[in-house]
Amino acid sequence: MKRGYFATRSITDVADGLRAGRCSSVQLVDRALHDAARWQPSINAFATIDVAGAREAALTADRELARGVDRGPLHGVPVAVKDMIDVRGLPTGAGSLHFAGRTASTDADCVSALREAGAIIVGKTTTHEVANGPTGDRSATGPTRNPSSVDRMAGGSSSGSAAAVAAGVVPAALGTDTGGSVRIPAAMCGVVGLRPSQSALSTAGVQPLAPSMDTVGLLARSAADARCLWEALTGRHPSPAPRRRPPRIGWISPGQVHPTDSSVERVARGAVRAWVVEEVTMPVAADLRAAYQVIQGREAHEVHAGRLSAAPELFDVEVRDRLRRGGRHTDAQLLEARTIRQDGRRALEALLDRFDFLALPTVPLRTPLVDAREVDVEGTVVDVPRALLALTSPWSMTGTPSLSLPAGTVEGLPVGVQLIARLGAEADLLSMGDILGER
């Protein structure tokens, strides 16, 4: 199916067209709504499409521009928001029957920031149930499918946001990322996904999963578009650190963390080869991956313990069982996992004293079929959900920002490369994303 209007247009292009009178916000929103409806039967990217609300907001945006009120690059531009994030007057279903009928009375802080920047929210995007899964195919609203091949999963948990951007329905969308929930679907759908530094963005109004690692994340078709979203959310226009030399990237061999498809690694490394100066080892990365399962598991169980007790049958079986496993981790295991997290932060800081960025594939395998739970990777049978989280969750533990960028394809399916930077270096990541996007 042909990609939507925004598949080939940057936010800057759209903004220029609005101000030159070549299009109106109402026309842009109608295109997004048309493409959302056209793609919905194939990919199921939306839990809610807000036709009336989006058109009303677009009329307001056009009136403001007509009288000289310009809120910036996102003014009058349609965007989408993950169904874990409150949007006033719309359901926040979190992909779960437990939240059926819940309507948000206020906007999440990140949504308020988007509105202040003039963005038009066209709908709420599908999520893996309660954001507790990386595959995007377990939800009360049904599985999200990959625009590149609808028999394949979109990744999760911010599955609908990534699929909507990849299909060209909107140029950008909000997601959430606890262990990889923005970066994984970004890689699998072939778009850009930014997990900011821990606590860089407010999570007020966002349904929690594991509060010590939950973040609001960004999905866009390019690093430049992600920057527009980032600046709207933060109210800042940060510049990357000045450089007197080319960027230096240390390559983390993914095999030291999880078995990795050689073709995926080859494509991902090829995207950054010109800047890789050394292959590095980080033994604690595998430990961080294991410790993540303990901390995330315990915290997610605590968030949903009441629902697990009162009405466990309302959860998808796989999600319910994962939540219950998380509750079995002992206090001793939790203490050890927190110690590993501190050790991992120190090890990563030491590496980032030597390099501007670290890089590795975003996910270690080719995009699996919807509902697949085991695949063969170089002769080793691996668990799909664990594999998808393997290369993203360590950096959730350290709290550092990371960015997934399209690196190419393997047999027509997108592959992502992940960049990791020091705390607060989002501008540097996005600048490097611009460089890689021009290659």
Mean pLDDT throughout 124-151? 98
Catalytic residue among 181, 222, 393, 431: 181
Bridge partners (DSSP) of residue 175 are: 217
Summary mean pLDDT of the chain: 97
Residue 102: the pLDDT is: 96
CA distance 2 to 116: 32
Residue 135: the pLDDT is: 98
In 10 A of CB 193, how many CB atoms? 36
Catalytic residue among 96, 157, 159, 393: 157
Catalytic residue among 25, 82, 396, 431: 82
Q: What percent of the chain has pLDDT over 70?
A: 99
Among candidate residues 106, 82, 105, the one with its CA nearest the CA of residue 94: 82
Cβ atoms of 169 and 126 closer than 8 Å: no
Residue 439: the pLDDT is: 64
Residue 437: the pLDDT is: 86
Say yes or no to pLDDT of 126 above 80.
yes
CATH homologous superfamily, domain 9-234: Amidase signature (AS) domain (3.90.1300.10)
The pLDDT confidence band at residue 240, using thresholds 50, 70 and 90, is confident
| Token reading at 239 | 């510049």
CA distance 360 to 403: 11
Mean pLDDT throughout 307-334? 98
The pLDDT confidence band at residue 323, using thresholds 50, 70 and 90, is very high
CA distance 314 to 307: 9
Say yes or no to pLDDT of 237 above 80.
no
CA distance 157 to 177: 8
CA distance 398 to 282: 13
Q: Can 181 be counted among the known catalytic residues?
A: yes
Say yes or no to pLDDT of 215 above 90.
yes
Mean pLDDT throughout 347-362? 97
The pLDDT confidence band at residue 397, using thresholds 50, 70 and 90, is very high
Angle at 265 between CA 185 and CA 372, to 5 degrees: 45
| Token reading at 146 | 């990959």
Say yes or no to pLDDT of 241 above 80.
no
Residue 74: the pLDDT is: 98
Mean pLDDT throughout 222-231? 98
Give the CATH fold of the 249-437 domain.
Answer: Amidase signature (AS) enzymes (3.90.1300)
Torsion sign over Cα 370, 373, 374, 377: positive
Q: Can 197 be counted among the known catalytic residues?
A: no
User: 9-234 and 249-437: same fold?
Assistant: yes
Residue 245: the pLDDT is: 81
Q: Can 157 be counted among the known catalytic residues?
A: yes
The answer to whether the bond into 431 is cis (omega within 30° of 0) is: no
- The domain ranges of the chain are 9-234, 249-437
